[in-house]
Amino acid sequence: MSLPSGTGPGEARVRRRRRSRDPEPGAAPVSEETALDDEAVEHRRGRERRGRPVGRYLMCVHASGTSTQVAVLEGRMLIEHYVAHDDEAQIHGNIYLGRVQNVLPGMEAAFIDIGAPKNAVLYRSDVQYDAEDIEESAPPRIEQILRPRQSVVCQVTKNPIGHKGARLTQEISLPGRFLVLIPGSATYGISKRLFDEERKRLRAILDRVKPDGHGVIVRTAAAGATAGELQRDLGHLLRQWERIGELARTSSAPARLHREPNMAVRVIREEFNPSYRGVVIDDRELFEEVHDYVASIAPELSDRVEYYDPGREPLPLFEHHHVHEQLHKALDRKVWLPSGGSLVIERTEALTVIDVNTGRNVGRSSLEETVYRNNLEAAEEIAHQLRLRDIGGIIVVDFVDMEEKGNRDDLMRVFRDALARDKTRTQVFEVSELGLVQMTRKRIGEGLVESLSRACPTCDGRGILIDESLG
């Protein structure tokens, strides 16, 4: 892409975008709906200072020959990291026409061949069926709904991890920029993160545009979206579902019916909004793909997508923004807190244990106050580490014991508030009789440690070497 001398790519995109808004000579007048759309686009452009975008977050995308990494920074602090290796195991969100291999009534599950190295699993709770096809009135068992060699349309909800195959559901969901379409469902909802007035406005629009026979969920990104924008997003999703249905009718199982886009595009679809001051990408081809995608779904933000030329910059992208340094720290089992305390994070196959220590934090007044302040720091840092390391499943936290109930209540409130900033669903239980806080965090794929490392071949990942002389 050649640019005029002295013109940066961002400037060229801004000029191109502004020209596209100017009416051509003799063109038809702009409709009221288009004018409203343009007004909404201008409103969502985000803040600028001295001609430069301003935002709380920055997204850095590094592409290599074998993987793509996305780092999300809040200020200068790394808060989220995603990595996708270019292999067939990264199938979360894909839709398949699968073939039932066998049904296990005792597990209330079926194993489905989707063309992956390992069969995927479909549990009874994720099976969809037509009640008219079942003779009994009671909730049918899985063996009454599915049979070997039957073809089923299903979507991957969890990537294969270790020796486990992918997890499937028959409740398909197709995410767009503003909406999520759930074909064949009665689901009807609006993001709880939106304010009440905005939810009321969007519900009125949704009542007019919702298609018969399909469910729709309005996403947080729909804040400020016009009826025309929601209608176009819905139309795109409906056409996508029609193409998937046509493929399902003409394909032989197992077959892939729909593939999720590049991981960088997926993250941008889910996350990118005016609170981001930019998306910086160090691969020219991926930059063009992402820029074109953003220009199509959020043209007001397209000038915030920038190309970072590794051949002209003195440092690689991740080193320039200190991402590598923070990633290496996130692989350590010990995390230091600002006042001198520490966390020790131990992962096992069944759960993750986090131990909170006061360490070098000796405080200034009383033991209770020292422990209280240390625990509050730990609560904030634990929420940060769970997001950064993408730790899922069962998590047990051993905070330092406190005598006063008010302090324990404050700790749980701060902990829950910190976890509320995590878009991944979490559930926290009250302090147990042993003084432990138990919680769960939804697990979708492998965590940071698994994605950036492999088990030591000498000790098989145990971290110890057996003294052979004692054997």
Residue 113 is predicted with a pLDDT of 97
- Where in the chain are the domains? 1-84+260-322, 95-169, 177-255, 331-452
Q: Which of 81-85, 359-363, 376-380 has the lowest mean pLDDT?
A: 359-363
Residue 451 is predicted with a pLDDT of 79
Whether the per-residue pLDDT at 122 is higher than 80: the answer is: yes
Rounded Cα gap, residues 125 and 348, in angstroms: 27
Whether the per-residue pLDDT at 445 is higher than 80: the answer is: no
- Average of per-residue pLDDT across 268-290: 91
pLDDT band at 471 (very low <50, low <70, confident <90, very high): low
Establish whether the linkage from the previous residue to 254 is cis, with ω within 30° of 0. Answer: yes
Q: Which of 241-250, 278-287, 289-298, 395-404 has the lowest mean pLDDT?
A: 289-298
Asked whether the beta carbons of 107 and 115 are under 8 A apart, the reply is no
Q: Which of 164-178, 268-282, 376-390, 438-452 has the lowest mean pLDDT?
A: 438-452
Rounded Cα gap, residues 406 and 39, in angstroms: 49
- What tens digit of pLDDT does each residue of 227-272 get? 988 999 999 999 999 999 999 999 999 999 999 888 888 888 888 8
Asked whether the beta carbons of 279 and 59 are under 8 A apart, the reply is yes
Residue 135 is predicted with a pLDDT of 65
309 three-state secondary structure: coil
Residue 13 is predicted with a pLDDT of 37
CATH 1.20.1050.10: does it fit domain 1-84+260-322? no
Q: Which fold has domain 95-169?
A: OB fold (Dihydrolipoamide Acetyltransferase, E2P) (2.40.50)
Whether the per-residue pLDDT at 37 is higher than 70: the answer is: no
- What tens digit of pLDDT does each residue of 190-231 get? 988 888 999 999 999 999 988 999 999 999 888 888 898 899
Residue 255 is predicted with a pLDDT of 96
| Mean pLDDT of the residues in the chain | 85
Whether the per-residue pLDDT at 109 is higher than 90: the answer is: yes
130 versus 189: the higher-pLDDT residue is: 189
- What tens digit of pLDDT does each residue of 424-436 get? 889 999 888 888 9
Q: Do the strands 342-347 and 334-336 form a parallel or antiparallel pair, or are they unpaired?
A: antiparallel
Would you give the DSSP letter of residue 304?
A: G
Whether the per-residue pLDDT at 11 is higher than 60: the answer is: no
Asked whether the beta carbons of 82 and 74 are under 8 A apart, the reply is no
Helix pair angle (405-420, 367-389), 10° resolution: 20
443 versus 252: the higher-pLDDT residue is: 252
pLDDT band at 114 (very low <50, low <70, confident <90, very high): very high
Percent of the chain clearing pLDDT 70 (strictly above): 86
Q: What angle do CA 209, 212, 215 make, to 5 degrees?
A: 80
DSSP 32-59: HHHHHHHHHHHHTT--EETTEE--SEEE
Whether the per-residue pLDDT at 22 is higher than 50: the answer is: no
Q: What are phi and psi of 294, to 5 degrees?
A: -65, -40
Whether the per-residue pLDDT at 34 is higher than 60: the answer is: no
The answer for 133, left when phi > 0, alpha when psi is -120 to 50, beta otherwise, is alpha
Q: Which of 137-146, 180-189, 249-258, 387-396 has the lowest mean pLDDT?
A: 137-146
Q: Which of 16-30, 185-199, 265-279, 425-439 has the lowest mean pLDDT?
A: 16-30
160 versus 40: the higher-pLDDT residue is: 160
Whether the per-residue pLDDT at 17 is higher than 90: the answer is: no
Whether the per-residue pLDDT at 285 is higher than 80: the answer is: yes
Whether the per-residue pLDDT at 318 is higher than 70: the answer is: yes
pLDDT band at 36 (very low <50, low <70, confident <90, very high): very low
- What tens digit of pLDDT does each residue of 50-79 get? 767 778 899 999 998 778 999 999 999 999
223 versus 94: the higher-pLDDT residue is: 94
